[in-house]
Amino acid sequence: MDAFEIVRDAADKIKRMEVRGAARIAKFAVETLKRFAELVNENFDENMRKAAEILLNTRPTAVSLFNAINYVMRYSGESLEEKRESVIRRAEEFINWVDTARAKIGEIGAKRIKDGYVVMTHCNSSAALSIIKTAFRQGKSIEVIATESRPRYQGHLTVRELSEEGIPVTLIVDSAVRYFMNEVDCVVVGADTITVNGALINKIGTSQIALAAKEARVPFMVAAETYKFSPKTLFGELVVIEERDPEEVAPKEILSLKNVKVRNPAFDVTPRDYIDLIITEIGAIPPEMAYIIIRERLGYSGMEYEEIRVSAKHFD
Ligand code: 5GP
Ligand code: RI2
């Protein structure tokens, strides 16, 4: 396969959700840029930029993809070989960030899960499951309630994963969340993006769960690596919520009915008031601290922002 074919093939896998999950798509995009850099021998800067844009224009909501690509695109060097090496080094650094952050989040978050807890989770988040698995491996007897997460049923992935680990898990339909909330000790979900004012953008249905949890006084925790915080929102942009094909939601005979519109947003916004804690790899923080993470951990200031930014033309 030629270098751009590899990139286009990877972008297609992300779009079709063959590769999915905010952390996984970020890591996969970075692995792809690394492979691309290993193969490119001319017009290095221009070709890297084109490859980065193809990967960026796949799924608009998870800022992990933007942060990952921008991390690699801050490569340095004068000669082709220096630049290539810099891309490879930065890609490896980011991949290491993904893996170590997930483990650290597991360690920190597990302290909030006590023996005998029933934990509710939504969709399939590697960071949220890291917390649940770590608590279980520490010998705590826990049970999980997992929503099926229509329309893509990522809940099926979650119950498989937990079953393999030996963790008892109950699968429920998304609309049964309120019904089960009284049995739940805490909710743990992942994140696609955290905004500068501490709002959570995550799989559609998350905000309803947060609302039900708040009403029942059940702690609602978010597992989010620091690369899930959005620098764009510091500069006033709103997060673009991906709306996917209605065919994922309803059969053709429904879609073809007169006067019927079918909509399929993939994510929703949970305001910070519903969030008790965000578990990051550098500590458990209140949502109000999102600004500090973007400024100090991700190192974004107004000047830098425009400079390093790879344009995302399809959803800007
Ligand atoms: P709601 O839409 O549920 O009333 O509130 C959403 C909350 O998330 C508000 O506090 C809003 O300021 C905050 N927020 C931060 N960034 C975004 C964004 O990109 N989109 C939306 N819809 N809300 C955001
Ligand atoms: P991790 C997923 O998005 C879900 O919304 C999940 O909560 C989030 O990414 C984070 O997953 P999708 O790709 O990064 O299934 O924690 O649409 O694995």
Tell me the mean pLDDT per 10 residues along the chain, length 316: 94 98 98 98 97 97 96 96 98 97 98 98 98 98 98 98 98 98 98 98 98 98 98 93 97 98 98 98 97 90 54 39
What pLDDT score does 302 carry?
Answer: 56
- pTM (two decimals): 0.94
Q: Does residue 70 belong to any structural domain of this protein?
A: yes
Which protein residue's CA is at the shortest distance from atom 5 of ligand 1? 271
304 and 292 within one domain: no
Q: Does residue 220 belong to any structural domain of this protein?
A: yes
Q: Ligand 1 centre from 271 Cα, in Å?
A: 6
Q: Ligand 1 centre from 191 Cα, in Å?
A: 14
Give the type of residue at 119: V
259 and 116 within one domain: yes
Closest CA to 220 of 191, 189, 195, 179: 189
Question: Taking the alpha carbons of 12, 16, 21, 24 in that order, is the dihedral positive or negative?
Answer: negative
Q: Does residue 36 belong to any structural domain of this protein?
A: yes
Q: Ligand 2 centre from 65 Cα, in Å?
A: 12
- Residue 56: give its domain's CATH number: 1.20.120.420
Q: Ligand 2 centre from 73 Cα, in Å?
A: 23
What pLDDT score does 179 carry?
Answer: 98
- Residue 258: give its domain's CATH number: 3.40.50.10470
- Within 8 A by CB and 6+ apart from 13, the residues are 19, 28
What pLDDT score does 299 carry?
Answer: 85
What pLDDT score does 305 carry?
Answer: 54
Ligand 1: which of 204, 241, 269 to mutate, judged by most atoms within 8 Å of the beta carbon?
269
305 and 291 within one domain: no
CA-239 nearest atom, ligand 1: 19
158 and 287 within one domain: yes
What pLDDT score does 19 carry?
Answer: 98
Ligand 1: which of 66, 193, 195 to mutate, judged by most atoms within 8 Å of the beta carbon?
195
User: Does 154 sit in the ligand 2 pocket, CB within 6 Å?
Assistant: yes
212 and 88 within one domain: no
Q: Does residue 57 belong to any structural domain of this protein?
A: yes
- CA torsion 290-22-313-230 (nearest 10°) is 0
Strands of the 267-270 sheet, one edge to the other = 193-194, 200-203, 267-270
212 and 108 within one domain: yes
Q: Does residue 282 belong to any structural domain of this protein?
A: yes
User: Does 6 sit in the ligand 1 pocket, CB within 6 Å?
Assistant: no
108 and 80 within one domain: no
Q: Quick check: 185 and 262 in contact, CB under 8 A?
A: no
23 and 88 within one domain: yes
Q: Does residue 208 belong to any structural domain of this protein?
A: yes
CA-207 nearest atom, ligand 1: 3
Q: Does residue 7 belong to any structural domain of this protein?
A: yes
User: Does 197 sit in the ligand 1 pocket, CB within 6 Å?
Assistant: yes
What pLDDT score does 310 carry?
Answer: 52
CA–CA separation, 131 and 111 (whole Å): 9
95 and 34 within one domain: yes
Distances (CA, A) of 262 to 84, 123, 203, 244, 282: 46, 21, 18, 11, 41
User: Does 273 sit in the ligand 1 pocket, CB within 6 Å?
Assistant: no
How many domains is the chain partitioned into structurally? 2
290 and 166 within one domain: yes
Three-state SS at 146: strand
User: Does 195 sit in the ligand 1 pocket, CB within 6 Å?
Assistant: yes
Give the angle 180-185-190 at the CA atoms, nearest 5°. Answer: 85
CA-273 nearest atom, ligand 1: 10
144 and 90 within one domain: no
Q: How many residues does the chain have?
A: 316
36 and 151 within one domain: no
CA–CA separation, 247 and 245 (whole Å): 5
Q: Ligand 2 centre from 203 Cα, in Å?
A: 7
Ligand 2: which of 66, 154, 281 to mutate, judged by most atoms within 8 Å of the beta carbon?
154
User: Does 233 sit in the ligand 1 pocket, CB within 6 Å?
Assistant: yes
Q: Ligand 1 centre from 214 Cα, in Å?
A: 17
Domain that holds residue 135: 104-297
Q: Does residue 316 belong to any structural domain of this protein?
A: no
* Residues recognised as catalytic: 123, 192
